């Protein structure tokens, strides 16, 4: 597999090829995923829940994210590496520039931030200084206390319309990738068609340009519960590398997510 870049992902969208993405937090799994042919790896602040046993992602620090980014980087040859900016590490432009620099120097090729059009100036500042940005709309886990829990977003017509507008504004600000989490499948389709940058869905239907799963969910080893939008690929194969290869194949063929994994 040739080295994956943001340009590679854009070309995939333009050619109608599906993008497969998964989280990783250490060199061993990162190397396995890289060799299996995954297109992008996200070092997610989900590590707070799946590694640390926290109730949500809020306690994760920038130092922890940088450490796990360094670990993942050591296992990767070709896969694009994206790192989450954790809670309240990008509340203003200067803070975002400082913390994004730490993640890029740790080995990330792109940083991810949750939020709508209020991030526009920050995204522009990062991109102008050579830091690619992945935006994130829908269920943004860092806002779990505002949402009152992990709930599907965008079912209300006005909120759906606002999300489409936010997506356009984030693209205009310079975002090169957009994660859509826990939204109705028709909204995932509408946003994907409204912007030219690739969309990566997690519980956003099968019409996004790609999919992402938390590795613990994809391998059926999450200690709490299996989200509706996930599938245990290890159960189907009995082998971790084959499970990841099946995930990549099922995304590419349009078989995952299935009807049972999407929100209406």
Residues of the domain holding 60: 6-261
Q: What is the reported pLDDT for 151?
A: 76
User: Which residue out of 64, 171, 181, 245 is catalytically annotated?
Assistant: 181
Q: What is the reported pLDDT for 149?
A: 61
Q: How far is CA 3 from the centre of its chain?
A: 19
> Region 30-35: what's the mean pLDDT?
98
Is 181 noted as a catalytic residue in this protein?
yes
Tokens of 218: 């994809």
Q: Is 243 within the bounds of a domain? A: yes
Q: Are 205 and 260 in contact (CB under 8 A)?
A: no
Q: What is the reported pLDDT for 142?
A: 80
Q: What is the reported pLDDT for 145?
A: 65
Q: Could you read off the pLDDT of 165-212 as tens digits, one per residue?
A: 999 999 999 999 999 999 999 999 999 999 999 999 999 999 999 999
Q: Is 18 within the bounds of a domain? A: yes
**DSSP state letters, 3-63:** PP-HHHHHHHHHTTPPEEEEE--SHHHHHHHHHHT-SEEEE-TTHHHHTT--SSSTT--HH
Question: CATH number for the domain including 76?
Answer: 3.20.20.60
Q: Cα dist. 48→56, 67, 84, 133, 176 in Å?
A: 7, 13, 12, 22, 26
Q: Is 153 within the bounds of a domain? A: yes
Q: Could you read off the pLDDT of 71-124 as tens digits, one per residue?
A: 999 999 999 999 999 999 999 999 999 999 999 999 999 999 999 999 999 999
Q: What is the reported pLDDT for 107?
A: 98
Q: Could you read off the pLDDT of 230-251 as tens digits, one per residue?
A: 999 999 999 999 999 999 999 9
- pLDDT at residue 255 greater than cutoff 70: yes
Q: Are 29 and 51 in contact (CB under 8 A)?
A: no
> Region 16-36: what's the mean pLDDT?
98
Q: What is the reported pLDDT for 150?
A: 65
Q: What is the reported pLDDT for 74?
A: 98
Worst-scoring range by mean pLDDT, 20-24, 58-62, 199-203, 223-227? 223-227
**DSSP state letters, 106-151:** HT-SEEEEE-SGGGHHHHHHHHHTT--EEEEEES-GGGHHHHTSS-
Q: Are 97 and 124 in contact (CB under 8 A)?
A: no
Q: What is the reported pLDDT for 225?
A: 72
Tokens of 67: 């450490």
Q: Cα dist. 79→5, 40, 41, 61, 111 in Å?
A: 8, 5, 7, 24, 15
Report the number of distinct structural domains present in the chain: 1
Q: Is 167 within the bounds of a domain? A: yes
Dihedral sign for Cα 23, 205, 227, 155, please: positive
Q: Find out whether 93 is annotated in a ligand binding site.
A: no
Q: Find out whether 56 is annotated in a ligand binding site.
A: no
Dihedral sign for Cα 244, 245, 248, 249, please: negative
Q: Find out whether 84 is annotated in a ligand binding site.
A: yes
Dihedral sign for Cα 136, 47, 33, 215, please: negative
Q: Is 231 within the bounds of a domain? A: yes
> How sure is the predictor about 163, in pLDDT bands with cuts at 50, 70 and 90?
very high
What distance in Å separates the CA atoms of residue 22 and residue 11, rounded to the nearest whole number? 19
Element (H, E) at 255: none
Q: Is 1 within the bounds of a domain? A: no
């Amino acid at each position: 597999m040739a080295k994956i870049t943001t340009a590679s992902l854009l070309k995939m969208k333009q050619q109608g090829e599906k993008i497969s993405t998964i989280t990783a937090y250490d060199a061993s799994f990162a190397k396995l995923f890289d060799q299996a042919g995954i297109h992008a790896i996200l070092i997610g602040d989900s590590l707070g829940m799946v590694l640390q046993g926290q109730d949500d992602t809020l306690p994760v620090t920038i130092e922890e994210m940088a450490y796990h980014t360094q670990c993942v980087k050591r296992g990767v040859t070709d896969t694009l590496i994206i790192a989450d900016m954790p809670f309240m590490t990008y509340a203003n432009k200067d803070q975002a520039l400082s913390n994004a620099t730490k993640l890029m120097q740790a080995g990330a090729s792109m940083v991810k931030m949750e939020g709508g059009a209020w991030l526009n100036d920050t995204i522009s500042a990062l991109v102008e200084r050579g830091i690619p940005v992945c935006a994130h709309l829908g269920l943004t886990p860092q806002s779990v206390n505002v949402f009152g829990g992990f709930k599907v977003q965008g079912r209300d017509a006005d909120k759906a319309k606002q999300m489409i507008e936010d997506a356009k504004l984030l693209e205009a600000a310079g975002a090169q990738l957009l994660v859509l989490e826990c939204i109705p499948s028709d909204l995932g389709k509408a946003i994907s068609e409204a912007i030219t940058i690739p969309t990566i869905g997690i519980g956003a239907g099968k019409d996004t340009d790609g999919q992402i799963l938390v590795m613990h969910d994809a391998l059926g080893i999450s200690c709490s519960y299996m989200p509706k939008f996930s599938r245990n690929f290890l159960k189907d194969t009995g082998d971790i590398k084959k499970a990841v290869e099946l995930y990549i194949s099922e995304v590419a063929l349009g078989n995952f997510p299935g009807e049972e994994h999407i929100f209406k």
